[in-house]
């Protein structure tokens, strides 16, 4: 009799436990629905203003480390959203702090700078801006990489989180970063005390528009997502002279051609086939006249790798090949080539796998399984990577937001056409669905990260 009562008590307790679990799950789901509805309603109300902001930013781009007016506008928008704002961090960097009680700290980054590209989109608000480069050359400027979309999404995020404080707890650090296109803006902000002067984040997030995904879609990549980028200059030296007496010279044009060809063996014969790498000679300049053999030729290279080991090996191979080809041409030590790795190099972007999977799970819940896709890593570069490489080892995650007009995307697929890429003078994101998806996705990611593990 006592045993039967005991088993009955156990069954009752088990049933009660399951009811409690079910009720908790039901309440959590209901709460999630309420938050989603609140976000959706507030975003639809804010979207016209965000589109106006996007068009203004698109029409008024500024080059890297010249983003004075862009930074001022982003700073003002963050102030109006209720953030404590600091400007001039790492030259033109902006930091906005939005606090809402105790809890975790999440950093969200946007980039500010445009590119020296002449816009050819035909948009009514297309950029007509001109600027001078650091070398004094006057160039057209365009937001050809979607940084204007990124800024509008950051401002939208600030507005929503300021208005919906009942839905979250913790601290947001919203930053506008200069000079992403140079690969030095993140380092400049970190050097200026980003993680010491302001709340240190538990995680750092960023989004980037993508030119090969339709608007409304989101992509994610755990682990290596973007490559390290190294800009390398090679000055090939020789002994100049008359083109009719080449035997009295050491021709750097021929030597440069041999070096360019030999560099192709780095990826094809020295690199592990399972470790991607790119060595591209993007520029070659030398000589002044048909019948003059010059005394030097300049090469400019871009080098893309993922792991630090691959990066070190490829850069060492470039040095060895350039030197070896020159030695074989009979050049003395004092005329061997000068190989320089430029300062604007950026490390590979490594998305923390655990954080990225958590973010992806939140995106699927908010956007639907069919709109969130894993994406393979790409050989583009991003200095957002720097935020994950400090001594604090803060986990980072950058995810993709599709920017292509869906009808144009489907038509291009049917007809086998290639659409304009990022950095193209024809790149124009489908702004409204891209911003709507970007703000929604980042909201979902931030709320997930504020919850903790």
Is 41 part of the annotated catalytic residue set? no
Alpha-carbon distance of 392 to 446, in angstroms, equals 20
CA pair distance 141, 59, nearest whole angstrom: 9
Task: Answer yes or no: are the C-beta atoms of 98 and 164 closer than 8 Å.
Answer: no
Q: Are 268 and 326 in contact (CB under 8 A)?
A: no
What gap in Å lies between CA 140 and CA 163, rounded to an integer? 39
Q: How many CB atoms lie within 10 A of CB 338?
A: 12
Name the active-site residue from 180, 181, 202, 382.
180
- In 232-307, where does DSSP find H-type helix? 252-265
How many CA within 13 A on the CB side of residue 204? Answer: 25
Cβ neighbours, 10 Å, residue 3: 7
Residues 203, 451: Cα–Cα separation, whole Å: 12
CB 275 within 8 A of CB 307: yes
Do 112 and 178 contact (CB within 8 A), yes or no?
yes
Would you put residue 216 in left (φ > 0), alpha (ψ -120 to 50) or beta?
left
User: Sign of the CA dihedral 434, 73, 180, 389?
Assistant: negative
Task: Give the separation between CA 407 and CA 391, rounded to whole angstroms.
Answer: 46
**Strands 93-100 and 84-89, bridge-based pairing:** antiparallel
Which ranges of 218-348 would DSSP assign to H, the alpha helix?
A: 252-265, 308-328
Marked catalytic residue, from 77, 111, 113, 251: 113
Q: Is 333 a catalytic residue?
A: no
Distance from C-alpha of 346 to C-alpha of 28, rounded to nearest angstrom? 42
Structure tokens given for 224: 């290596």
Distance CA 64, CA 115 (A): 8
Compute the distance between CA of residue 438 and CA of residue 431 in angstroms, rounded to an integer: 10
C-alpha to C-alpha distance for 395 and 353, rounded to whole angstroms: 9
Residues carrying an active site annotation: 113, 180
């Amino acid at each position: 009799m006592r045993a039967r009562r005991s088993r009955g008590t156990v069954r009752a307790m088990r049933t009660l436990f399951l009811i409690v679990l079910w009720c908790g799950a039901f309440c959590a789901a209901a709460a999630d629905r309420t938050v989603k509805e609140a976000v959706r309603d507030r975003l639809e109300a804010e979207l016209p203003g965000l589109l106006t902001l996007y068009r203004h930013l698109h029409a008024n781009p500024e080059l890297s480390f010249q983003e004075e007016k862009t930074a001022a506008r982003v700073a003002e928008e963050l102030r109006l959203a209720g953030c404590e704002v600091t400007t001039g961090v790492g030259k033109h960097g902006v930091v906005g702090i939005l606090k809402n009680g105790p809890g975790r700290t999440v950093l969200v980054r946007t980039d500010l700078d445009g590119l020296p590209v002449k816009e050819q989109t035909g948009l009514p608000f297309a950029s007509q801006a001109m600027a001078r480069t650091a070398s004094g050359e006057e160039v057209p400027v365009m937001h050809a990489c979607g940084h204007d979309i990124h800024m509008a999404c950051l401002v939208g995020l600030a507005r929503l989180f300021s208005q919906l404080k009942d839905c979250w707890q913790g601290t947001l650090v919203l930053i506008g970063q200069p000079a992403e296109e140079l690969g030095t803006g993140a380092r400049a902000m970190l050097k200026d005390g980003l993680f010491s002067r302001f709340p240190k984040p538990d995680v750092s997030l960023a989004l980037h528009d993508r030119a090969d995904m339709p608007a409304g879609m989101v992509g994610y990549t755990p682990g290596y997502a973007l490559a390290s980028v190294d800009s390398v200059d090679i000055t090939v030296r020789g002994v100049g002279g008359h083109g009719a007496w080449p035997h009295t010279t050491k021709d750097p044009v021929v030597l440069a051609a041999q070096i360019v060809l030999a560099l192709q063996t780095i990826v094809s014969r020295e690199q592990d086939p399972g470790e991607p790498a790119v060595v591209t000679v993007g520029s070659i300049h030398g000589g002044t006249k048909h019948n003059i053999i010059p005394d030097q030729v300049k090469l400019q290279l871009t080098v893309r790798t993922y792991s630090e080991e691959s990066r070190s090996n490829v850069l060492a191979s470039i040095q060895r090949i350039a030197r070896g080809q020159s030695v074989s041409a009979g050049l003395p030590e004092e005329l061997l080539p000068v190989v320089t790795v430029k300062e604007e190099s950026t490390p590979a972007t490594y998305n923390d796998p655990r954080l990225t999977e958590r973010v992806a799970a939140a995106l699927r819940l908010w956007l639907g399984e069919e709109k969130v896709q894993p994406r393979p890593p790409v050989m583009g570069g991003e200095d957002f990577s720097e935020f994950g490489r400090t001594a604090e080892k803060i986990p980072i995650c950058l995810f993709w937001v599709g920017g292509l007009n869906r009808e144009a995307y489907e038509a291009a697929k049917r007809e086998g056409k290639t659409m304009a890429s990022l950095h193209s003078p024809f790149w124009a994101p489908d702004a409204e669905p891209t911003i709507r998806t970007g703000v929604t996705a980042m909201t979902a990611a931030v709320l997930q990260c504020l919850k903790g593990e």
